[in-house]
């Protein structure tokens, strides 16, 4: 029902009005504030957004102008997006944890005149780069605290803007009429939002999306996953990421479901439990982190609980996925699984906040098969999707019952997908972007001559299932000097399945053998150190500890055993490894804001370590500059040890002596 | 935000608390001798001095934990010969301690709620039942506590026993408990001790925000000179139990007696 009506509305403000009529008294937005969940219905939300839109207009925001949105997932920032769209302005969400430099780039490139921000921190950040933003005139903020003494000539609380708009609407009926016309004038082909890409490949680009296309894409997936107004999702993903804008904002408006905003970023886990969402998305990294925490806590649990947990997880591994896929399972298997569900899986899902989840997705990077299987085996309907900002997210998604850990599913409805001759995936989709903001050259670069968009990912269609398989970024898959295939992600993911390993960066393209740099997981290894009476004063000391090296060496050996089983991969076994003295960090540019490893950059930054990995030395000195959250810089120096690994000669594969 | 260099007129306000000729000794040890200074309403007042200068003793005298042998203390115009700690608390003086003094087995929320106990009026009987007026009262107090939790940004640790929290967060919970008393005068005994730079910056921000947002008068003891000079409106310096200087941070920085006390003098 929802989707049919959605076809008639071609902009988000029109959808908002439709939802207020259809689902008027149902919840549209929740936010935990002062420890209590506050709820706004669709009708209330419409009233607020109308008042806010009028308020913004009275401040001077006009059709076609851009407004930056900077902050965490909060109702007032979502309303800023809606209010801006209502009067035809274009919201430009920016990552809340972006450093001032990145913020300045996006704000000046998008030519924003207005900015809606969360709190003092963001106001300060923008003020620190003010001289580079001559066009910026007004800032509105959600959280007043600490801002009282600021010069308020160009600064206003969002509450005041809404109150001002509300008063104008009440005083003069013509204002309401004017707003109605503004909404009606809005075209589906107008830009509805500009999303800046996280910049996995260099400087970020502003992806322009239109209302009509966004709604068409969201309507397809809402139907695909049977989402409706009774669903709930927790909005904890970065506001500026296409995932949040699609999964929560666009799908929420199309299906009419409720978005719940966590109290703050650190409470998201607890809030997840309280809200019990029915639709859930988590990048593989988050799922990994959750599993690590569960595993650690089980290690610390009593004997009986630990045994029970491991026994039933074993049962789940054997039967769980088959039960979820509705495949035949022997009666004893079903019985054991049912007992396990009562004793382990149910409580576990409850703790993780997954009890009510009907549909869960993961995407963003390749997920380890073991990790994926774990969640599915305990009964979470976790599926994979593949997409990108330029497509307004979805390109492929796995339908219920057709789940494979190594595929990302068949193309979504109305998505035209093809594989180019060089193996690159190219597409035309309902939600595809209209171009990069103020960057015609880059737009042309991204498009083929016949109008398909290049994804930059290498993949192929699996013959058996017809699903798309993504191998890696087209340019990342390499070869060792002896011609052995070297897919870095594949090796890294195998390593990262160990709770003790937080991050892995593999090198080998054009080299004689594979070598990796690792980050230990401070939570997991710290807890291990506590149990084993290993004393340490800092991350750096723990990372360099010889007992930690011994433990990690066992993990690497296990990965090598695993690789040796596969003929193709046997040559890509890890010969040498080291543990980095500092955590890879987005603030230092080592990870992207979506926490993907920037392999090339890391290779440059840690060049002395790479050299040492391949020249046989057993340790190397390194000095790296680090950026603190407030923008100051410091230098960390360390001597990093390197370990050699024995490799297993596998079926037919000859190994050089390590 | 607050510019400490603006001179004495920033701190212009009525005297909230006056210490006059106070002396305190333990047996033969003179911890504080003949010290006088005042704290004006709305200011941030620092008490500094080398180790053993009598700073903590001074705080203990102010909140009635110690009773001075000589001298008198006037708080809100009332001079009392002997004030007990609970009277001080009731009168609007709250404090934090040099070593964190929280109920380690209780959650952060419960610890801060404990700070409200003086404000709860319903009888023990009703509170035991958690019913009717007592319930309503608890809800009201909980609302105030939640505001403090929001203010100090500690939502994520609300339900965690404080014994499991890192030191910096424990300090923040302790500040929260003191704030829950809605004090007029807040005494902070080395709020930054043992903190790293980032935690210190956070704590400084909170202290300024408390002063700005709630209008609370603050007296603090601190060793980190950078923090003291940035935060406080006026500074009093003690050495061997005696007051050797009193003035704005700038005056203190150039005061020869203070420099001598900290760096030592050639004998």
Q: What is the pLDDT of residues A221-276, one digit of tens each?
A: 999 999 999 999 999 999 999 999 999 999 999 999 999 999 988 898 889 999 99
Residue A253 lies in a domain: yes
**Cβ-based contacts of B165 with chain A (< 8 Å):** none
CATH number (domain holding residue A249): 3.40.50.12780
Span A395-436, pLDDT tens digits: 999 998 888 877 889 999 999 999 887 668 899 999 999 999
Model confidence at A27: pLDDT above 90: yes
The residue of chain A with its CA nearest to that of B155 is: A267
Chain B touched by A33 (CB under 8 Å): yes
Which of A371-380, A468-477, A483-492 shows the lowest per-residue confidence on average (mean pLDDT)? A468-477
Residues A160 and A217 in one domain: yes
CB A326 within 8 A of CB A319: no
Asked whether residue A411 falls in the same domain as residue A518, the answer is: no
Pair of tokens at residue A1: 């029902």
Q: Are residues A153 and A19 in the same domain?
A: yes
Token pair for B200: 């210190």
Written as one string, the DSSP assignment of A533-586 is T---SSHHHHHH-HHHHHHHHHHHHHHHHHHHHSTTTGGG-EEEEEE-SS---G
Pairing mode, strands A382-388 and A359-362: parallel
More confident residue, A454 or B87: A454
Among A281, A306, A337, the domain-final residue is: A281
- Model confidence at A344: pLDDT above 60: yes
pLDDT-based confidence at residue B266 (cuts at 50, 70, 90)? low
Nearest to B146 among A34, A148, A266 (CB): A34
Interface contact flag, A266 B1, Cβ < 8 Å: no
**Interface list for B 103-142 with A (CB within 8 A):** 142
DSSP A362: E
In a domain, A649, yes or no: no
Given a cut of 90, whether residue A60 has pLDDT beyond it is: yes
In a domain, A392, yes or no: yes
- Mapped onto helix, strand or coil, the DSSP state of residue A231 is coil
Distance CA B256, CA B240 (A): 16
Q: Which of A248, A281, A314 is the last residue of a domain?
A: A281
Whether B6 shows a pLDDT value over 80: the answer reads no
The answer to whether A633 faces chain B, any CB pair under 8 Å, is no
Can you list the positions of beta strands (E) in A279-413? Answer: 279-281, 359-362, 382-388, 393-397
| pLDDT confidence of residue B120 | 77
In terms of residue numbers, what domain contains A413? Answer: 284-473
For residue B234, the Cα-to-chain-centroid distance in whole angstroms is 15
A211 domain residue, yes or no:
yes
Residues A523 and A429 in one domain: no
Chain B residues in contact with A34 (beta carbon < 8 A): 143, 146-147, 149-150
Is A391 among the domain residues?
A: yes
Q: Are residues A462 and A518 in the same domain?
A: no
Q: What is the pLDDT of residues B49-59, one digit of tens each?
A: 888 888 889 99
Q: Is pLDDT at A602 greater than 60 in this prediction?
A: yes
Is residue B8's pLDDT more than 60? no
Q: What average pLDDT score do residues A475-487 get?
A: 79
DSSP annotation of A316 reads I
Tell me, yes or no, if A530 comes closer than 8 A to chain B by beta carbon.
no
Tell me the mean pLDDT in the region A134-154: 90
Q: What pLDDT is stored for residue B11 in this prediction? A: 41
| Mean pLDDT, rounded, for B177-191 | 92
Per the CB < 8 A criterion, the answer to whether A86 and A182 are in contact is yes
Residues in chain A with CB shorter than 8 Å from the CB of B6 are none
End-to-end CA, chain B: 43
A146 closest CB neighbour out of B156, B198, B209: B209
Residue ending a domain, choose from A455, A473, A491 = A473
Nearest to A34 among B150, B198, B209 (CB): B150
Instruction: Identify whether the C-beta of residue A140 lies closer than 8 Å to the C-beta of residue A71.
Output: no
Strand partners, A574: A514
DSSP H helical ranges for A172-210: 173-185
Residue A53 predicted with pLDDT over 90: yes
Minimal CA separation from A28 to chain B, in Å: 24
pLDDT tens digit sequence for A379-403: 999 999 999 899 998 999 999 888 8
| Cβ-defined contact of B156 to A36 (cutoff 8 Å) | no
pTM above 0.90, yes or no: no
Contact B195, B168 (CB under 8 A): yes
Same domain, A460 and A513: no
Residue A654 has pLDDT above 80, yes or no: no
Per-residue pLDDT at B4: 34
**SS3 letters for A47-94?**
HHHHHHHHHHHHHCCCCCCEEEEECCCCHHHHHHHHHHHHCCCEEEEE
Which of B107, B112, B156, B200 is the mutation pick for testing A, counting most A CBs within 10 A? B156
For A393-444, the DSSP string reads EEEEEPPTT---TT--BSBPTT-EEEE-TTSEEEEE-TT---EETT-HHHHH
Relative to beta strand A393-397, strand A382-388 is: antiparallel
Residue that is written with structure tokens 């829950």 in the block: B180
Q: 10 Å Cβ neighbour count for A364?
A: 21
Number of domains in chain A: 3
ipTM: 0.74
Is A62 in the same domain as A203? yes
pLDDT of residue A357: 95
Write out pLDDT tens, residues A210-236: 999 999 999 999 999 999 999 999 999
Question: What average pLDDT does the structure give for chain A?
Answer: 89
Q: Is residue A658 part of a domain?
A: no
Contacts A–B by Cβ distance under 8 A:
37
Q: Could you give the CA distance from residue A437 to residue A92 in angstroms, rounded to a whole number?
A: 11
Q: Do A288 and A275 share a structural domain?
A: no
CATH number (domain holding residue A496): 3.30.300.30
Note whether residue A116 is domain-resident: yes
Looking at the fold, whether A59 and A156 belong to one and the same domain comes out as: yes
> Which of A145, A522, A538, A630 is the best mutation test for B, with the most CBs of B within 10 A?
A145
User: Distance between CA B40 and CA B10 in Å, rounded?
Assistant: 11
pLDDT at A150 over 60: yes
Nearest to B146 among A35, A148, A267 (CB): A35
CB atoms near residue A648 (< 10 Å): 16
Is the CB of residue A560 less than 8 Å from the CB of residue A554? no
Q: Which residue did the predictor score with more confidence, A544 or A490?
A: A544
Q: Are A138 and A121 members of one domain? A: yes
- The arithmetic mean of pLDDT across residues A4-16, rounded, is 77
Decide if A35 and B1 are in contact by the 8 Å CB cutoff.
no
Q: Cβ distance A596 to A603 under 8 Å?
A: no
Q: Are residues A245 and A199 in the same domain?
A: yes
- Chain-chain contact of A35 with B198 (C-beta, under 8 angstroms): no
Query: Which chain B residue lies closest to A150 (C-alpha atoms)?
Result: B1
Which pLDDT score is estimated for A568?
Answer: 59
Neighbours of A182 (CB within 10 A): 17
Residue B223 pLDDT > 90, yes or no? no
E strand or H helix at A642: strand A633-644
Lowest model confidence (mean pLDDT) among A29-38, A508-517, B123-132: B123-132
| Domains of chain B (ranges, CATH numbers) | 1-92+184-267 (3.40.50.300), 104-182 (no CATH)
Q: What is the dihedral of CA A581, A586, A589, A595, to 10 degrees?
A: 100
Per the domain annotation, does A653 fall within a domain?
Answer: no
Tokens of A4: 């049919």
- Range A119-137 average pLDDT: 93
pLDDT, one tens digit per residue, over A555-576 is 999 989 877 866 656 788 999 9
Q: 187-216 in B: which are within 8 Å (CB) of A?
A: 198, 201, 205, 209, 212-213
Query: Which is more confidently placed, A368 or A163?
Result: A163
**C-alpha to C-alpha distance for B227 and B217, rounded to whole angstroms:** 17
Q: Check CB contact of A634 with chain B, cutoff 8 Å.
A: no
DSSP state, residue B155: G
Cβ contact, residue pair A145, B143, below 8 Å: no
Instruction: Tell me, yes or no, whether A541 and A418 share the same domain.
Output: no
Pick the residue with more confidence: A278 or B196?
A278
Work out the average pLDDT over A439-451.
91
d(CA A161, CA A49): 11
B147 and A CB contact within 8 Å = yes
**What gap in Å lies between CA A323 and CA A89, rounded to an integer?**
49
Contact B209 A270 (CB under 8 A): no
**Facing B147 at nearest CB: one of A34, A263, A266:** A34
Q: How far apart are CA A137 and CA A116, in angstroms?
A: 11
Query: Is-contact A379 A320, C-beta < 8 A?
Result: yes
The whole-number pLDDT of residue A340 equals: 94
Please report the beta strands in A211-309, taking only residues with DSSP state E, as ranges in sequence order: 232-234, 258-261, 279-281
* Spatial distance between the Cα atoms of A261 and A201, rounded to a whole number of angstroms: 30
Q: What is the pLDDT of residues A533-553, one digit of tens each?
A: 888 888 999 999 999 999 999
């Amino acid at each position: 029902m929802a989707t049919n009506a959605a076809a008639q509305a071609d902009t988000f403000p029109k959808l908002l009005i439709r939802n207020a009529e259809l689902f008027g008294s149902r919840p549209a937005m929740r936010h935990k504030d002062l420890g209590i969940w506050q709820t706004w219905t669709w009708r209330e939300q419409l009233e607020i957004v109308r008042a806010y839109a009028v308020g913004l207009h009275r401040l001077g925001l006009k059709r076609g102008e851009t407004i930056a949105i900077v902050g965490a997932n909060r109702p007032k920032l979502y309303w800023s997006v809606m209010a801006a769209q209502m009067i035809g302005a274009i919201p430009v969400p920016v990552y809340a944890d972006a450093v001032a430099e990145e913020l300045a780039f996006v704000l000046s490139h998008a030519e924003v005149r207005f900015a809606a921000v969360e709190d003092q921190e963001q106001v300060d950040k923008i003020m620190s780069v003010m001289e580079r933003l001559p066009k910026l005139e007004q800032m509105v903020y959600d959280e007043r605290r600490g801002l009282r003494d600021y010069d308020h000539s160009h600064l206003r609380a969002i509450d005041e803007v809404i109150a001002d708009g509300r008063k104008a609407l009440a005083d003069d009926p013509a204002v309401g009429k004017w707003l109605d016309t503004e909404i009606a004038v809005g075209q589906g082909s107008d830009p509805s939002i500009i999303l800046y890409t996280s910049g996995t490949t260099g400087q970020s680009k502003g992806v322009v999306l239109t209302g009509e296309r966004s709604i068409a894409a969201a309507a397809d997936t809402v139907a695909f996953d049977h989402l409706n107004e009774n669903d709930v999702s927790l909005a904890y993903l970065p506001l500026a990421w296409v995932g949040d804008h699609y999964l929560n904002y666009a799908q929420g408006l199309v299906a009419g479901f409720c978005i719940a905003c966590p109290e703050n970023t650190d409470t998201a886990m607890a809030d997840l439990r309280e809200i019990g969402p029915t639709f859930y998305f988590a990048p593989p990294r988050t799922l990994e982190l959750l599993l690590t925490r569960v595993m650690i806590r089980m290690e610390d649990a009593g004997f009986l609980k630990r045994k029970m947990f491991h026994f039933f997880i074993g049962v789940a591994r054997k039967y769980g996925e088959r039960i979820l896929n509705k495949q035949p399972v022997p009666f004893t298997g079903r019985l054991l699984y049912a007992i396990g569900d009562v004793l382990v899986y149910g409580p576990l899902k409850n703790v993780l906040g997954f009890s009510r989840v009907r549909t869960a997705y993961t995407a963003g990077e390749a997920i380890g098969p073991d990790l994926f299987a774990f969640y599915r085996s305990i009964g979470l309907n976790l599926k994979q999707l593949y997409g990108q900002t330029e497509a307004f997210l979805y390109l492929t998604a796995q339908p219920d019952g057709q789940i494979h850990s190594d595929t990302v599913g068949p193309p979504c409805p109305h998505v035209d997908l093809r594989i180019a001759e060089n193996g690159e995936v190219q597409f035309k989709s309902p939600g595809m972007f209209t171009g990069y903001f103020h960057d015609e050259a880059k737009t042309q670069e991204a498009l083929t001559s016949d109008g398909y968009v290049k994804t930059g990912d290498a993949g192929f269609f699996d013959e058996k299932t017809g699903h798309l398989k993504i191998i890696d970024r087209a340019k990342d898959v390499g070869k060792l000097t002896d011609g052995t295939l070297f897919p870095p992600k594949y090796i890294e993911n195998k390593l990262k399945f160990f709770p003790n390993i937080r991050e892995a960066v593999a090198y080998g393209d054009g080299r004689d053998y594979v070598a990796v740099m690792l980050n230990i997981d401070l939570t997991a290894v710290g807890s291990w150190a506590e149990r084993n009476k290993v004393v340490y004063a800092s991350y750096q000391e723990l990372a360099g500890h010889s007992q930690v090296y011994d433990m990690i060496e066992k993990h690497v050996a296990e990965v090598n055993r695993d690789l040796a089983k596969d003929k193709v991969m046997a040559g890509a076994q890890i010969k040498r490894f080291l543990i980095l003295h500092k955590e890879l960090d987005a603030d230092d540019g080592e990870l992207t804001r979506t926490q993907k490893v920037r392999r090339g950059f890391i290779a440059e930054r840690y060049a002395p370590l790479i050299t040492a990995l391949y020249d046989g030395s057993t340790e190397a000195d390194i000095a790296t500059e680090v950026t603190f959250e407030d923008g100051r810089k410091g230098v960390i120096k360390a001597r990093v040890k390197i370990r050699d690994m024995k490799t297993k000669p596998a079926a037919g594969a000859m190994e050089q002596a390590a | 935000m607050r510019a400490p260099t603006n001179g004495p007129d920033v701190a212009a306000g009525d005297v909230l608390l006056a210490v006059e000729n106070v002396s305190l000794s333990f047996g033969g040890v003179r911890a504080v001798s003949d010290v006088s200074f005042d704290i004006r309403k709305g200011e941030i007042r620092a008490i500094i001095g080398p180790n053993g200068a009598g700073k903590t003793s001074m705080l203990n005298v102010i909140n009635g934990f110690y009773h001075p042998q000589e001298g008198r203390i006037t708080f809100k115009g009332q001079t009392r010969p002997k004030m007990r700690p609970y009277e001080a608390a009731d009168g609007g003086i709250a404090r934090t301690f040099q070593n964190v003094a929280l109920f380690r087995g209780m959650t952060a929320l419960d610890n801060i709620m404990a700070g409200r106990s003086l404000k709860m009026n319903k009888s023990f009987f009703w509170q035991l039942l958690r019913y009717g007026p007592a319930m309503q009262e608890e809800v009201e107090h909980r609302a105030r506590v939640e505001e403090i939790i929001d203010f100090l940004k500690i939502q994520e640790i609300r339900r965690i026993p404080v014994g499991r929290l890192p030191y910096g967060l424990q300090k923040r919970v302790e500040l929260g408990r003191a704030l829950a008393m809605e004090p007029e005068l807040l005494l902070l005994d080395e709020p930054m001790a043992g903190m790293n730079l980032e935690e210190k910056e956070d704590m400084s921000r909170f202290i300024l925000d408390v002063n700005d947002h709630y209008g609370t008068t603050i007296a603090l003891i601190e060793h980190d000179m950078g923090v003291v000079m940035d935060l406080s409106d006026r500074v009093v310096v003690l050495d061997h139990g005696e007051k050797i200087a009193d003035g704005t941070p700038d005056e203190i920085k150039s005061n020869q007696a203070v420099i001598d006390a900290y760096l030592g003098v050639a004998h």
